[in-house]
Amino acid sequence: MKDEVTREERVDNLKGMGCSRKRVEDARFTQGKGNYVDDVKLDGMLFGDFVRSPYAHARIKSIDTAAALEVPGVLAVLTAADLEPLGLHWMPTLAGDKQMVLADGKVLFQGQEVAFVVAEDRYAAADGIELVEVEYEELPVLVDPFEALKSDVVLREDTVDENGKATDGAHGPRKHPNHIFTWDAGDKEPTEEVIANADVVAEESMYYHRTHPCPLETCGCVASMDKVNGKLTLWGTFQAPHAIRTIVSLISGLEEHNIRVISPDIGGGFGNKVGAYPGYVCSVVASIVTGKPVKWIEDRMDNLMTTAFARDYWMKGKISATPEGKITGLHCHVTADHGGFDACADPTKFPAGFMNICTGSYDIPTAYLEVDGVYTNKAPGGVSYRCSFRVTEAVYFIERMIEVLAIKLDMDAAELRRINFIKKEQFPYTAALGWEYDSGDYHTAWDKALKAVDYDGLRAEQAQRVEDFKAGKTRKLMGIGLSFFTEIVGAGPVKNCDILGLGMFDSCEIRIHPTGSAIARLGTISQGQGHATTFAQILASEIGLPADSITIEEGDTDTAPYGLGTYGSRSTPVAGAATAMAGRKIRAKAQMIAAYLLEVHDDDVEFDVDRFVVKGAPEKFKTMKEIAFAAYNQAIPGIEPGLEAVSYYDPPNMTYPFGAYVCVMDIDVDTGVPDIRRFYALDDCGTRINPMIIEGQVHGGLTEALAVALGQEIAYDDMGNCKTGTLMDFFLPTAWEVPNYETDFTVTPSPHHPIGAKGVGESPHVGGVPCFSNAVQDAFRPFGNMHTNMPHDHWRIWKTANDLGLHG
């Protein structure tokens, strides 16, 4: 067969790894033909919605549903009393705790689910909700975790024995009835000793405020129980559909094969859609009870007030160093506010997630971390908002501690980072808190970043600005925000990562069709990351069929192989690896077929882009397309027909993407208004599958970082009322508030990942938050600022200036 196409063209035709392939998802999204859960419409479908508690802490004296049931169209009102006989009035959380599905005698946070009204349409449901009469007896409210640990008020009656003594929790003994767990890592005494004897010690307390992932699409589901066949189908906004199937099976008693969970298109997740929520349970129960499909969709207030907050970490740090700035020890204590139930979405053995990555990118010989989880009268959650488990908190902590230490040492913060980075030759590097960093080249990245922004020039400009400010020539200060982050993503090795006992592997199953196209199914689910585009690129490079000929399918548990889903930047590190490995199985079989067809020994053919060629005779080859056809139409001795493969990939380690960010900000001292002049982001996510998508992820992650750093919070008053329940007060920036970003990269492939990729979706958020915050704080460093807490909204920035006496 004559081949006029050059090798380069053959590579291009595949649209494999490394090219900015346009997204295959976009045709439907740009034409309004996406299929999100609220687009699901079934015959006879009912709507369910919640009566929610107006109080943060109250006993429920009575619930009267009679008037609601009179509303035309209202079919049922479920309360805890209805769920109790089924054992469904409480449900297990991912964190080893349990959570009320519907208020069982009391409520623990404002907005808690009290009753579930099922009606023919959403209007009748809303009218019914208004008429459910709940009598509450208000109880003392605890919104401060430190108070909660001292209070006589016991929030959870299941945390004490009959003598009122605190019982053991899921992670060991409780110190107090409102205490959930203590979790630690590292060496306590040696760390304390190093710090006690150090030449220089910097200490700081910081609050990483409560916020929320707030994807544009809220959470929701449609449950449809087919009583004839005994099958339940559950569509929903699930970042982990397979895990949801298992959970539904475990708590409902339905056999898992009778449950089909479908995650359709998801309108952003950012961690909000990992957990299991009362709405899912109530919809399933309501469908079983009524025999009809039941839809439940949160409204925005429900979403912000009740499902999946993030952060809320009170962090206290000590960092020690030599006078020259070499860090010798790090101590961190966290008081973690988990709200009324511990519903964190972390791997089972990590109740504080991977907070123990808090030594960051630095070679710190001794460290200790201790985290205390606490119940308060706030909504449950504690999800990873666009980050791997608690990594955002960890990176914020260390990147602030570095800045504080730099102030203490009177040293440039960029230089302090440089002299403490883990060196390239130290990888794989085992950190003091236990993680083995797989790879990195921090100095190269840092130098590239500082050069790109002309760091010395910026510092000179800043010094001049300070002079001008002091001379009364300007009322604007200039801040240079630095951050260098190391993420830990791709959870994770089954030996130490599971959720509810489910190992955190992931999977890919490939079927090559006779004509040389393919379908691959994965255990993950895209929420905008573009999996259908990028996973096809991985496969194209691995199996030599064009990405355009490969369909990627996720999210239907009846067809996709089991996997743990998409969050914590785990899709590329785990499912991406599974995809490559499954592709290699395809290739191995294809090699045997090619050898047979070419009448040579298996070892005498080699893979070349889109074909197997006879070694030393490149004119003799069989394309993958030809091989695919042969797999289905030829009886090949010793080889089964067909060309399919499946891989379940258990990663040997996490991956450790890193990056160097610089933000330049001008701050109006008198109004507290910040203006982001420049933002430079260098990311190293290892092998780059699709540069266009990587860049898009970086833009998005930085924008979510900007929001969190500069104003986005879930705030409560003293009575536990949520003050930020709509988008008027919960800060989501518009195009007007967001700058243009400059993106850059280095490439340090992961040594253990089949294609060297590390994951990128969350890096910009993890690295971005401290960068924006450091820019604000750096502007005030010349005037004596050590640390101020986020979010740096106008009034808090103004307060910083005011506290420093800058308002005259």
Partner 1 sequence: MIPAAFEYYRPKDMAGVLSILEEHGDDARVMAGGHSLIPMMKLRMADVPHLIDLQDVGGMSDIEISSDSIRIGALVTQAEIIDHADLAKVAPILREAALQIADPQVRYMGTVGGNVANGDPGNDMPGLMQCLDAVFTVVGADGERDIPARDFYEAAYMTAREDEEVLTAVTIPLPNGGYAYEKQKRKIGDYATAAAAVQIVKDGETCSSVAIAMTNLSDTPIYSEAAGAALIGTAVDAVALDAAVAAMLGDIDPSEDNRGPVAFKNHVAGVILRRAIERAWSRA
Partner 2 sequence: MSKKQHYAITVNGKEEEFLAEPRELLIYTLRERLNITGPHIGCETSHCGACTVTIDGKSVKACTMFVAQANGKDITTIEGIGGPDDLHPLQEAFKEHHGLQCGYCTPGMITRATKLLEENPNPTEEDIRFGMAGNICRCTGYQNIVKSIQAAAAEMNAAKEAAE
The catalytic residue positions are 239, 386-387, 762
650 is a contact residue toward partner 2 (CB under 8 A) = no
Q: How many angstroms separate the CA atoms of 776 and 128, rounded?
A: 48
67 is a contact residue toward partner 1 (CB under 8 A) = no
32 is a contact residue toward partner 2 (CB under 8 A) = yes
Crossing angle for the helix pair 413-420 and 442-452, nearest 10 degrees? 160
759 is a contact residue toward partner 2 (CB under 8 A) = no
**Binding residue (CB under 8 A) for partner 1 from 723, 742, 747, 784:** 723
527 is a contact residue toward partner 2 (CB under 8 A) = yes
719 is a contact residue toward partner 1 (CB under 8 A) = no
Is 740 exposed, middle or buried, given 0-12, 13-18 or 19+ CB atoms closer than 10 A? exposed
Are 50 and 100 within 8 A, CB to CB? no
Residues 258-287 that bind partner 2 (CB under 8 A): 265-268, 270
Burial 263-282 (b: 16+ CB within 10 A, else e): bbbbbbbbbbbbbbbbbbbb
31 is a contact residue toward partner 2 (CB under 8 A) = yes
43 is a contact residue toward partner 2 (CB under 8 A) = no
Is the C-alpha dihedral spanning 407, 411, 412, 414 positive or negative? negative
**Binding residue (CB under 8 A) for partner 1 from 139, 301, 692, 786:** 301
* Residue 516 or 672 having the CB closest to partner 1: 672
130 is a contact residue toward partner 2 (CB under 8 A) = no
Q: How many angstroms separate the CA atoms of 184 and 573, rounded?
A: 27
Q: For residue 782, is the peptide bond before it cis, meaning its omega torsion is within 30 degrees of 0?
A: no
**Binding residue (CB under 8 A) for partner 2 from 12, 13, 36, 424:** 36
| Contact mark string toward partner 1, 128..147, x via CB under 8 A | --x-----------------
Is the C-alpha dihedral spanning 264, 267, 273, 277 positive or negative? negative
Q: How many angstroms separate the CA atoms of 704 and 721, rounded?
A: 25
* CA distances from residue 667 to 323, 674, 767 in whole angstroms, order as listed: 32, 4, 21
Q: Which residues contact 135 (CB under 8 A, 6 or more apart)?
A: 60, 61, 62, 63, 64
Q: Smallest gap, in angstroms, from Cβ of residue 463 to partner 2? A: 31
How many angstroms from the chain centroid is the CA of residue 799?
Answer: 32
740 is a contact residue toward partner 2 (CB under 8 A) = yes
**Total residues at interface with partner 2 (CB under 8 A):** 61
493 is a contact residue toward partner 2 (CB under 8 A) = no
**Binding residue (CB under 8 A) for partner 2 from 56, 198, 214, 508:** 214
Tokens of residue 673, six digits: 């208004």
Place of tokens 């015959």: 43
Q: Smallest gap, in angstroms, from Cβ of residue 671 to partner 1? A: 6
Indicate left, alpha or beta for 603 from its phi (over 0: left) and psi (-120 to 50: alpha): alpha
Residues 673-702 that bind partner 1 (CB under 8 A): 673
| Contact mark string toward partner 1, 84..123, x via CB under 8 A | --------------------------------------xx
Question: What residue type is assigned to position 452 of the chain?
Answer: A
Tokens of residue 344, six digits: 């964190």
Q: For residue 791, is the peptide bond before it cis, meaning its omega torsion is within 30 degrees of 0?
A: yes
**Binding residue (CB under 8 A) for partner 2 from 176, 300, 443, 752:** 300
* Residue 115 or 319 having the CB closest to partner 1: 115
CA atoms within 13 A on the CB side of 727: 11
Tokens of residue 67, six digits: 């008037």
747 is a contact residue toward partner 2 (CB under 8 A) = no
The C-alpha torsion from 682 through 686 and 690 to 696, rounded to 10°, is -30
* Residue 661 or 731 having the CB closest to partner 1: 731
**Binding residue (CB under 8 A) for partner 2 from 328, 359, 392, 529:** 529
- Taking CB under 8 A as the binding criterion, the range among 498-506, 574-582, 668-676, 684-692 that sits at the site for partner 1 is 668-676
Question: What is the contact surface with partner 1 in residues (CB under 8 A)?
Answer: 122-123, 125-127, 130, 299-301, 670-673, 711, 715, 723-724, 727-729, 731, 733-734, 736-737, 793-795, 798-799, 802, 807
User: Residues in the site for partner 2, rule: CB under 8 A?
Assistant: 22-23, 25-34, 36, 38-39, 41, 71-73, 122-124, 127, 214-217, 265-268, 270, 297, 299-300, 527-530, 692-693, 695-697, 699-704, 726-728, 732-736, 738, 740-741
